[in-house]
């Protein structure tokens, strides 16, 4: 009897497990449902008969918590706990999984993962909930309005049943056009600081699968010797020393001429064989300048009339005002090239299936990039190319190149073979540090005029640097009237009300390939704005917080920026510091979010500065996963401060001088003693958090150092360690 019962129970759950409800969008972007994976290849949520839910994540997970965040949205609306739902990465499909802020393009960047998905993913989860509830209401003969799903159980009208029981019935129903989204008062997971990351368990036990961990049967490992100077091409190569390496297979010049691909049986053999290769380069068209020349060019541009008058101000009038001011503050800033150096060196693996499909295994930040590039390289239609997204070991922007650089390299290395063996392209750290795509170098010259009371009456701000967007597929939406907004963002759109501001921009020649780097233009614009504000406050004998608040008097933007400024000041005990310590503050808006940072330092610039504490206040709208917001603030602050302390990429005769962590030294655990993050409660739609912590961190450090003594200065060139500041 007992056996029979359990057997019946088994059969029932097995039958139910065969059913599944998929909610996704059809190619017109309309929510659609199906009970078949084939009909609904491109879904956002799947619920199986056993009551498990799976969220399909359209954004890469490189540490910022997108997988947990997107899954939270589905779980909340559907009515399941985070233990009852899993996540998977979506395939490449720019029609269905596009970033709603990027157009028909699937990609992660600009801290938009949650902002663009907040309504979309909740709607998918809510649609699934309403369909399951409708199916139950019909079966039970009750009003659907009396039912809800709570922890995976349909509950109400005196009845309960696991939602899995209604999966088959729900799959045949129409998708509600406008499902009701739960009111914030109903939220249990959104905004709950107790929610844990879904990817933590596999990341602490070694089971997490990054692209670097792909090991396909019979794969070859390819490493590339690239041109030492940008623009160089291969004339000839000698692989006789490579041939001695056990496991070496072959070496071939890439069709682009930019390097030689070395194929080997395993990674270590590929490294040795690649390093043993002798290459003769044609450097006649290559970059030959050194960092000093590039800097001179940028600084010279600051002293000429700018090419672009960004804010259409009457610059002559502004200059006249500044020249006639009671006090004139003048400062020139310089920011070096920076590498992203994600912890997982770049890599991807490419194979061809028996059906002739090309499959790329990649920690893909912008799947649409390689997807389009491979259609050309392999002359295949889009549907014959699959991109399998893996966890990515950091990016900070590096995995999102407009030209899909490393994926194209892998594609070219693969197409030069008979495609019978998969090809895994691996970069080592030296390749990464020397491989280009840097945060562009930039210079600023600012002249601020203050009246007798210390109030700003004129602000002449000139920027010169290398445009990231020009010449890329993103030019049309990021460049207007010649101005690459990413070079002046954070000044042109600052919430400060600054009277008499002129903003000019001059593009300089690209010395090397440049790319967005965590927080893009804000990496330098925030530094300049916040150091100048601090200098103006100090010069006029005003408190740095009060002074800034005087320029943040409006509603909305200004009020939110003022809000984080006040919160950070309050939490950091602004206004006093232990003996020998000093505090500096900075505040900045980027990617729709507001962050204020107080840095407390001790020591002095000769014997060594110690970063004692960083206190941050964050307003990113609704904090979907508050602990992730805190973690991103901590990480972004470390990223900003670490590079400001001691990192730069320099060129000597066009060749990059740094090569690995010993000379591109990462932030270390002892560099910042404590970081404390405070989140502003908010009902506003969520905005970015992966990047906004970075911009104000470095200027807060500079301002703290300048507050250490009467003769301490504001560091105007980065990195600080190369410009007169020692760190303990």
Binding residues (CB under 6 A) for ligand FES: these are 63, 343, 394
User: Is there a contact between 276 and 237 (Cβ–Cβ < 8 Å)?
Assistant: no
Binding residues for another protein (CB under 8 A): 62-65, 196-197, 199-210, 212-213, 215, 246, 266-268, 271, 341-345, 391-394, 396, 428-429, 627-628, 631-632, 634-639, 642, 660-662, 666-675
| 4 vs 643: CA distance, rounded Å | 67
Can you give the three-state secondary structure of 226-268, one letter per residue?
ECCECCCEEEEEECHHHHCCCCEEEEEECCCCCEEEEEECCHH
Minimum distance, C-beta of residue 635 to another protein, in the bound complex (Å): 5
Query: By C-beta, is 333 or 396 nearer to another protein?
Result: 396
Tokens of residue 262, six digits: 């070395």
Residue 110 backbone class (left: φ over 0; alpha: ψ -120 to 50; beta: rest): left
The entry of another protein, ligand FES, none near residue 39 (CB within 5 to 8 angstroms by kind) is: none
Q: Which does residue 163 bind out of ligand FES, another protein, none, counting CB within 5 to 8 angstroms by kind?
A: none
- Residue 204 interacts, among another protein, ligand FES, none and using kind-specific CB cut-offs from 5 to 8 Å, with another protein
Query: Which residues have C-beta within 8 Å of that of residue 558, sequence separation ≥ 6?
Result: 495, 496, 497, 552
Q: Which is nearer to ligand FES, 394 or 692 (CB)?
A: 394
Least distance in angstroms from the C-beta of 518 to another protein: 10
Q: Which one, 17 or 631, has the nearer CB to ligand FES?
A: 631
How many helical (H) and strand (E) elements, i.e. helices and strands, does the chain have? 19, 30
| Minimum distance from residue 666 beta carbon to ligand FES (Å) | 9
CB nearer another protein, residue 199 or residue 460:
199
Q: Which does 631 bind (CB under 5 to 8 A by kind): another protein, ligand FES, none?
A: another protein
Q: Burial-class residue 721 by CB neighbours within 10 Å (0-12, 13-18, 19+).
A: middle
Question: Which of another protein, ligand FES, none does 318 bind, CB closer than 5 to 8 A by kind?
Answer: none
| Least gap, CB of 208 to ligand FES (angstroms) | 11
Cα dihedral sign, 87-92-93-97: positive
Alpha carbon distance 571, 545 (integer Å): 13
Residue 699 beta carbon to another protein: minimum distance, rounded to whole angstroms? 18
Dist. CA 376–CA 356, nearest whole Å: 15
Distance between CA atoms of residues 639 and 634, nearest Å: 9
Nearer to ligand FES, 267 or 290 (CB): 267
CB of 393 or CB of 592, closer to another protein: 393
DSSP 717: B
Q: Which is nearer to ligand FES, 204 or 354 (CB)?
A: 204
Rounded to a whole number of angstroms, the minimum distance from the CB of residue 394 to ligand FES is 5
CB of 704 to another protein, least distance (A): 18
Smallest distance, another protein to C-beta of residue 57, A: 15
Rank residues 180 and 215 by Cβ distance to another protein and give the closer one: 215
Q: How far apart are CA 697 and CA 596, in angstroms?
A: 8
Q: Which does 231 bind (CB under 5 to 8 A by kind): another protein, ligand FES, none?
A: none
The partner in contact with residue 209, picked from ligand FES, another protein, none with C-beta cut-offs of 5 to 8 angstroms by kind, is: another protein
Task: Please say which residue, 69 or 411, places its beta carbon nearer to ligand FES.
Answer: 69
Minimum CB distance to ligand FES, residue 665 (Å): 13
The conformation of residue 586, written as its DSSP 8-state character, comes to E
Partner that binds at residue 200, options another protein, ligand FES, none, CB closer than 5 to 8 Å by kind? another protein
Q: Which is nearer to another protein, 221 or 531 (CB)?
A: 221
Query: Using an 8 Å Cβ cutoff, are 586 and 699 in contact?
Result: yes
For ligand FES, which residue has the nearest CB? 343
Q: State in angstroms the smallest separation of the CB of 55 from another protein.
A: 19
Burial of 379 (0-12, 13-18, 19+ CB in 10 A): exposed
396 binds, among another protein, ligand FES, none (CB under 5 to 8 A by kind): another protein
Sequence-ordered strand ranges (E) for 524-577: none
Quick one: 68 or 407, whose CB is closer to another protein? 68
Closest separation in Å from C-beta 601 to ligand FES:
25
Short-list 367, 322, 93, CA closest to 211: 367
CA 686, 691, 697 angle in degrees (round to 5)?
A: 120
Tell me the two tokens of residue 46: 């799947």
Query: In the bound complex, what is the minimum distance in angstroms from residue 298's beta carbon to ligand FES?
Result: 31
Residue 142 or 343 having the CB closest to ligand FES: 343
Binding-site partner at residue 354 among ligand FES, another protein, none, CB < 5 to 8 Å by type: none
463 near 370, Cβ under 8 Å? no
Select the binding partner of residue 381 from ligand FES, another protein, none (C-beta < 5 to 8 A, by kind): none
CB 501 to another protein: min, Å: 34
Q: Is the Cβ–Cβ distance between 22 and 36 less than 8 Å?
A: yes
Pure H helices in 277-400: 291-302, 315-323, 368-377
Q: Please answer whether residues 262 and 248 qualify as being in contact, where contact means their C-beta atoms are separated by less than 8 angstroms.
A: yes
Residue 369 interface partner, choices another protein, ligand FES, none, CB cut-off 5-8 Å depending on type: none
Angstrom distance (rounded) from CA 78 to CA 187: 11
Strand pairing of 608-619 and 675-679? parallel
Task: Indicate which of ligand FES, another protein, none lies near residue 321 (CB less than 5 to 8 Å, by partner kind).
Answer: none
Whose structure tokens read 């049309």?
Answer: 476
Alpha-carbon distance 587 to 598, whole Å? 9
Nearer to another protein, 209 or 553 (CB): 209
């Amino acid at each position: 009897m007992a056996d029979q019962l359990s057997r019946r129970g088994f059969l029932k759950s097995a039958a139910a497990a065969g059913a599944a409800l998929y909610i996704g969008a059809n190619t017109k972007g309309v929510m659609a449902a199906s009970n078949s994976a084939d009909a609904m290849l491109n879904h956002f949520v799947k619920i199986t008969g056993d009551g498990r839910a799976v969220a399909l994540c359209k954004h890469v997970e490189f540490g910022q918590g997108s997988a947990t965040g997107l899954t939270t949205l589905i779980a909340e609306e559907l009515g399941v706990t985070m233990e009852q739902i899993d996540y998977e990465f979506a395939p490449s499909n720019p029609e269905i999984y596009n970033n709603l802020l990027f157009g028909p393009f699937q990609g992660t960047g600009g801290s938009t993962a949650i902002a663009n998905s907040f309504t979309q993913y909740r709607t998918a989860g809510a649609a699934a909930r309403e369909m399951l509830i409708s199916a139950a209401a019909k079966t039970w003969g009750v009003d659907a309005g009396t039912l809800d799903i709570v922890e995976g159980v349909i509950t109400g009208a005196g009845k309960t049943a696991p939602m899995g029981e209604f999966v088959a019935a729900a799959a045949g129903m129409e998708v509600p056009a406008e499902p009701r989204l739960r009111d914030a008062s109903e939220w249990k997971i959104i905004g709950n600081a107790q929610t844990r990351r879904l990817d933590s368990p596999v990341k602490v036990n070694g089971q997490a699968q990054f692209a670097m961990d792909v090991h396909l049967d019979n794969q070859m490992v390819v490493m590339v010797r690239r041109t030492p100077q940008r623009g160089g091409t291969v004339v000839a190569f000698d692989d006789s020393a490579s041939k001695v390496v056990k496991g070496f297979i072959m070496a071939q010049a890439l069709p682009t001429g930019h390097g030689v691909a070395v194929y080997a049986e395993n990674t270590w053999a590929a490294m040795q064989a690649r390093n043993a290769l002798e290459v003769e380069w044609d450097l006649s068209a290559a970059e030959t300048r050194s960092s000093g020349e590039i800097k001179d060019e940028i600084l010279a541009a600051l002293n000429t009339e700018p090419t672009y008058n960004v804010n259409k101000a009457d610059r002559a009038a502004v200059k006249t005002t500044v020249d006639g001011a009671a006090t004139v503050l003048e400062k020139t800033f310089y920011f070096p090239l920076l590498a992203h150096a994600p912890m997982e060196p770049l890599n991807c693996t490419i194979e061809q299936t028996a059906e002739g499909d090309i499959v790329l295994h990649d920690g893909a930040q912008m799947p649409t990039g390689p997807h389009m590039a491979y259609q050309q390289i392999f002359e295949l239609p889009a549907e014959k190319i699959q991109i399998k997204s893996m966890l990515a070991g950091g990016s900070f922007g590096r995995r999102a190149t407009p030209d899909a650089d490393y994926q194209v390299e892998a594609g070219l290395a693969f197409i030069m073979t008979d495609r019978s063996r998969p090809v895994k392209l691996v970069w080592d750290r030296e390749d990464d540090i020397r491989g280009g795509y840097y945060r562009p170098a930039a210079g600023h010259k600012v002249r601020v005029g203050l009246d007798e009371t210390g109030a700003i009456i004129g602000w002449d701000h000139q920027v010169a640097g290398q445009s990231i967007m020009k010449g890329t597929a993103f030019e049309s939406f990021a460049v207007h009237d010649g101005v690459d907004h990413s070079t002046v963002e954070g000044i042109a759109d600052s919430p400060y009300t600054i009277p008499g501001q002129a903003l000019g921009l001059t593009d300089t020649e690209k010395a090397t390939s440049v790319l967005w780097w965590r927080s893009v233009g804000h990496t330098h614009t925030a530094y300049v704005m916040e150091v100048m504000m601090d200098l103006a406050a100090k010069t006029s004998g005003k408190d740095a917080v009060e002074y800034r608040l005087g320029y943040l008097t409006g509603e909305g933007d200004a009020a939110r920026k003022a809000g984080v400024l006040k919160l950070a000041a309050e939490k950091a005990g602004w206004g006093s510091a232990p003996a020998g310590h000093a505090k500096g503050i900075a505040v900045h808006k980027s990617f729709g979010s507001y962050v204020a940072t107080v840095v407390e330092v001790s020591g002095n610039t000769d014997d060594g500065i110690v970063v004692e504490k960083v206190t941050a206040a964050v307003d990113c709208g609704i904090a979907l996963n508050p602990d992730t917001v805190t973690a991103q603030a901590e990480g972004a602050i470390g990223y900003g401060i670490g590079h400001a302390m001691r990192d730069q990429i320099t060129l000597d005769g066009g060749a990059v001088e740094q090569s690995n962590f010993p000379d591109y030294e990462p932030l270390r655990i002892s560099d910042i003693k404590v970081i404390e993050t405070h989140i502003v409660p908010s009902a506003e739609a969520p905005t970015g958090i992966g990047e906004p912590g970075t911009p104000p961190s470095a200027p807060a450090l500079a301002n703290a150092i300048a507050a250490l003594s009467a003769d301490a200065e504001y560091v105007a060139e980065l990195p600080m360690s190369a410009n007169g500041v020692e760190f303990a």
